[in-house]
Structure 1
């Protein structure tokens, strides 16, 4: 029967048997968080061959037992199984079953999934060649690195991480049996959606493992009583927006890698997970108010991005709103206005008047239209997010100067200088807003947000981030005065829902035209973070302001983030004057701006 298959191979390929192609695998880029845990893989779909000799015997033993129990005895094919398969193929034209692990490896490496006699014949030839060229351990390792285990997991290590959040070397006997059982049908035995069927299949695997001498009957009986936890969503799923962002950077730094890369990042996975959960849960809670997306970014005082979530679900909505979306900042922009005023000599106690104002034909109003507070301090005006005061103040200190301030501390997008810019009509990303607020958190130094610490290849370091030198951008007394005003926002202003006792916190709410965007940006000592909520179609939400859902999201996220960093006061900062580099100013159509919850949204 085997000679008949060889003849078929000859007929299909010519007078010579097909030569086994070289094994090819595209380089992979593996991303790890700051503790070394894998957060994502990009590039080649397949991992390097598994070293089965480094795994507990029950891990490869489970696969061999259920997939090819005579694997260590045959020379690439199983004559008994092949005989029955060929009979079926000759009568029905399609081959079914009987493939050894070696044959399956040949198919995964070199062939397609067509079930024809011709393809089966070539598969057989390649299997025999594989057995001549590689050891059994190497063949099994190649198979385990290429097999598909469902849920986007190609290879055994990826499957172990995806379903059980642990490396393959730490899988229990029951977990190993579950993964081995998945191979028959990743759909029917899906550990996530077909959990009971997966357990039933795993119990069958356990029985065969006993028959093959992999485990004892006592070990089988103990394993059958176990129900391992399966992660319904990938444990590192929240990090995929971050991985997308740094992957773009790596591709520019290493355009054509010829070896696998390990990229060590700045990400704090606990923070990232908390950010993902906060974005998802708060958007779900406010779904009735027509919001559908959120973004969260956290940056430490040196510019390291500790968390970056660009949406509520990367699988269904991979667009990275944290990095790529440009939205109006609303009153979260006002600190740049007040900082410019403080740098020109005003103080938090400088008296201003909340009253009607018209600038170049534009008349901004407060949330309570027609209601004004009269004489108030600058500190109270910021805390209550009074629009009339911010608009007049911007006109007095000069909007080009405000644009220069924003650029100096981290805003990179084009800044408009129309009257409404004072109330946040410039289009910015959550990433750059957080980058700017980081200068408030670290003593007045401008930071450049980054996510890559080191890139390694083949044991060699090919890139190492140098510790960034401080770049003073805000001097005292303006910095300490602004920080005090921003603390007041959270104690006696619109940011009350974001407050957390026991920490030195400061921040600002922001709401834009017809509730299209809502923000909360805040910070503690050496950690800044911004939350944004809105709709991808830029339609209005149902009266969601920065003082409500984004402030709640910020507090939910920071309840975890604050425990991951030292509890530090917001630093006073440098005393020397900060340089003011040139600013690029772009004009932009704007209109009336106001903010809800003492902030009426601007009108586009």
Structure 2
């Protein structure tokens, strides 16, 4: 109304409202002509005509349009990718390459020695799905992909879940369906990157549309790895149950299906609890998918009674088969960390440290000992339950150059050098000796060697420490105590230096896990692997420079590149002067102690130690030259696999370290000394006479370069006596009295009477105490060619006075 006084209400101000442009408003109000409208922008952002937050928010039309466009682009890309995917030729095993293991080369110009064995994808028998019970396939479906028969080949939810988990840094997951696993194994071997997974997914979709699911399942069953070197369901059925796949029961099929994700770890022989848990999982899933009635499932029991132990293939039987197992174990460890499946497919060349001529000698010695045919054995044979091993290590590299761990036949497949735990007995005494030398206790230090002494620190003084056969010694130095293996002296020495020092020396040398709190560890109460003790004595032989014990020297990829090479530098873990004195004391074990009967006649510098446990349940001889360290261990298991006393044989009632172990050691090593790498007679460093000041434990270094902080004391020198023409016993006694080491060699002579010295080297002059003097003793005229009388060594007899031991107060070694 024109005449009203009512005031018009003001316009409501709203945030983000759309406003009309002023020009447009004016034009529409006035009706003016000729004003050109404002041009619209191609991309109207920020949005014109809006204020506030709405100006910056895209319109719903834009959002919808963008989403639809993106969807169509993705669909188009997926269609294009799907169309471009072609089904490749099956990979199967045709691209899998055999990994070949070689012995060490015999000369520098050879890349490797003879073939030791191979690892390959060979244990497979193809079977048709139609020949198998339906529940075999159903068990695998229940274990790996319950929706296999209805899905499109992929599981988007599972893939998304796995992707998110992997991005978050969780344990790697695959999210693969059975079809995707089939694609990976049958066509592409192994895929880990996301691009490869996408390619697998597309191919899985295509195969699910173009191939029958039963054919996919059949190929999957014939391709997948089940552990025990078995590829495919048929080989797996034979390996785990000793029957064909067509004869598997429901329970047995569920066991095999359950271990597919991790067959080596979930093998019922390795982890029975995990295997049974997976068995239950598979059977429950079979009920869920309608493949097994619930009542039948409830009645099933885990088929432990039909499971069989893993049976090594004939190509991996025998002592060399044990070596191949060691190679595989090292390849699976750092730094390569290869799975067994990788090893079987990788096509690598693996050169080991095993020297075939020496390995053949070790095996021949072990076989001859079992048969009673070694020279001097006179037909005596060990009991069937008596087990033994021979291990040789190169001190300059740490490489195992020969190892006999057992026959590895149908009756005994255990590696007694690497698996067996044998009490170390008196072979541990050198560890305490080294600890004493490092703490300034010299070899000249004397202790009371009387048997049956009680010490307050030793089991509260309630239990006496005894020597072998309760033999009493007076006040003797550490050289004599080592040579005679006197328990009471070493008990006092370990009390003085501390059992933690003994354990530390053992660990640094190469024997882990020694109890540092147990005073009787000096008597070898800890159970160890013979290969570790051989490695520790190799550290002594290398005068304190340690190399890790190993069997793999090099690994070469199929393209010729180097995948792995064993370390070429060692660690100095003991000072050279300490090693010189320890070696000198251990030489006396051979020259005047428990090794003199069998080891001394080899006629060259050898250091070592015998060892015998309480009740003679284990016996050792471990010895070394500068070039080779060898451990011989003999033990025995009862029918229940508990330790029992070694059955005596060949006139030896109680098997001690100085009897059959020393006999086997010399039988083997005298053959080894004929080989070029070991034929040269090499001397040990002379005695250093450590002890005027404590010798500090050296800091472990990465190189073998010696850097002593102070020079050792000047060694005492003596005149070398003239012993030519003397009887061997008189000459030996004369040289021994001067603190010199006697090495006896035999030689025929037409002019010097049998048993008398032909010559000595050196013949005269002055030498440091502890030096070696070699005497050559006449064996009489050369025998006529028509009358070659065989030289027979006596059957091993216990040298009781040398085997200090018996009651040890700690349940460890007898000392022999």
TM-score under structure 1 length normalisation: 0.60
Which residue does 2:515 correspond to in 1? 415
Where 1:600 maps in the other structure, the secondary structure is coil
Q: Which one of the candidate residues 394, 413, 424 is aligned to 2:494? A: 394
**Equivalent pair of 2:347/2:558 in contact (CA under 8 Å):** yes
Which residue does 2:670 correspond to in 1? 559
Measure, in 2, the Cα distance between the counterparts of 1:345 and 1:21.
71
Matched, 1:28 2:98: yes
Q: Which one of the candidate residues 641, 646, 669 is aligned to 1:541? A: 646
Matched, 1:357 2:357: no
**Equivalent pair of 1:238/1:273 in contact (CA under 8 Å):** no
Mapping of residues 51-450 of structure 1, within 5 Å: 110=126, 237-252=318-333, 253=336, 254-255=338-339, 256-257=342-343, 258-285=345-372, 287=381, 292-301=386-395, 302-355=397-450, 356-358=452-454, 359=458, 360=460, 361-369=462-470, 371-450=471-550
Where 2:469 maps in the other structure, the secondary structure is coil
**Equivalent pair of 2:427/2:609 in contact (CA under 8 Å):** yes
Segments of structure 1 that go 5 or more residues without pairing to the other structure are 1-19, 47-107, 116-232, 582-593
Q: Which one of the candidate residues 111, 115, 132 is aligned to 1:38? A: 115
Q: Which one of the candidate residues 544, 553, 558 is aligned to 1:453? A: 553
Measure, in 2, the Cα distance between the counterparts of 1:109 and 1:349.
70
- Cα pair distance change 1:596/1:318, threshold 3 Å: farther
**Equivalent pair of 2:403/2:417 in contact (CA under 8 Å):** yes
Measure, in 1, the Cα distance between the counterparts of 2:347 and 2:126.
21
> After superposition, what is the alpha-carbon deviation per residue over 1:183-209, rounded to whole angstroms, capped at 9, x for unaligned?
xxxxxxxxxxxxxxxxxxxxxxxxxxx
**Residue 326 (structure 1) shift:** 1.6
Which residue does 1:579 correspond to in 2? 698
**Residue 263 (structure 1) shift:** 0.8
**Structure with more helix by fraction:** 1
Where 1:460 maps in the other structure, the secondary structure is coil
Measure, in 2, the Cα distance between the counterparts of 1:556 and 1:398.
37
- Cα pair distance change 1:553/1:601, threshold 3 Å: farther
Mapping of residues 13-24 of structure 1, within 5 Å: 24=93
Q: Which one of the candidate residues 591, 597, 603 is aligned to 2:803? A: 597
**Equivalent pair of 2:620/2:634 in contact (CA under 8 Å):** yes
**Residue 240 (structure 1) shift:** 2.1
**Equivalent pair of 2:541/2:624 in contact (CA under 8 Å):** yes
**Residue 522 (structure 1) shift:** 0.5
Measure, in 2, the Cα distance between the counterparts of 1:546 and 1:290.
19
**Residue 429 (structure 1) shift:** 0.6
**Equivalent pair of 1:336/1:405 in contact (CA under 8 Å):** yes
**Residue 580 (structure 1) shift:** 5.5
- Cα pair distance change 1:337/1:563, threshold 3 Å: same
Which residue does 1:513 correspond to in 2? 614
Which residue does 1:484 correspond to in 2? 584
Measure, in 2, the Cα distance between the counterparts of 1:327 and 1:596.
22
**Residue 235 (structure 1) shift:** 12
> After superposition, what is the alpha-carbon deviation per residue over 1:236-292, rounded to whole angstroms, capped at 9, x for unaligned?
943222221111111342222443222111101111121122223324446456752
**Alignment length, in residue pairs?**
396
Where 1:247 maps in the other structure, the secondary structure is helix
Segments of structure 2 that go 5 or more residues without pairing to the other structure are 1-88, 106-112, 132-313, 373-379, 648-653, 701-799
**Equivalent pair of 1:295/1:531 in contact (CA under 8 Å):** yes
More moved, 337-346 vs 378-387: 337-346
**Equivalent pair of 1:28/1:261 in contact (CA under 8 Å):** yes
Measure, in 1, the Cα distance between the counterparts of 2:407 and 2:599.
20
Which residue does 1:586 correspond to in 2? none
Where 1:508 maps in the other structure, the secondary structure is strand
> After superposition, what is the alpha-carbon deviation per residue over 1:393-442, rounded to whole angstroms, capped at 9, x for unaligned?
11111111111111111112243432221111011111110111011111
Where 2:363 maps in the other structure, the secondary structure is helix
Measure, in 1, the Cα distance between the counterparts of 2:407 and 2:517.
33
**Equivalent pair of 1:329/1:424 in contact (CA under 8 Å):** yes
**Equivalent pair of 2:348/2:556 in contact (CA under 8 Å):** yes
**Residue 459 (structure 1) shift:** 3.5
More moved, 460-469 vs 446-455: 460-469
Which residue does 1:498 correspond to in 2? 599
**Residue 513 (structure 1) shift:** 1.9
Measure, in 2, the Cα distance between the counterparts of 1:380 and 1:418.
25
> After superposition, what is the alpha-carbon deviation per residue over 1:341-369, rounded to whole angstroms, capped at 9, x for unaligned?
12222222322211232222332211122
Measure, in 1, the Cα distance between the counterparts of 2:468 and 2:115.
47
- Cα pair distance change 1:344/1:303, threshold 3 Å: same
**Equivalent pair of 1:242/1:307 in contact (CA under 8 Å):** no
Measure, in 1, the Cα distance between the counterparts of 2:410 and 2:114.
21
**Residue 598 (structure 1) shift:** 3.0
Where 1:477 maps in the other structure, the secondary structure is helix
**Equivalent pair of 1:404/1:580 in contact (CA under 8 Å):** no
Which residue does 1:205 correspond to in 2? none
Q: CA RMSD in A?
A: 3.3
Where 1:519 maps in the other structure, the secondary structure is strand
Which of the two has higher C-alpha Rg? 2
Where 1:435 maps in the other structure, the secondary structure is helix
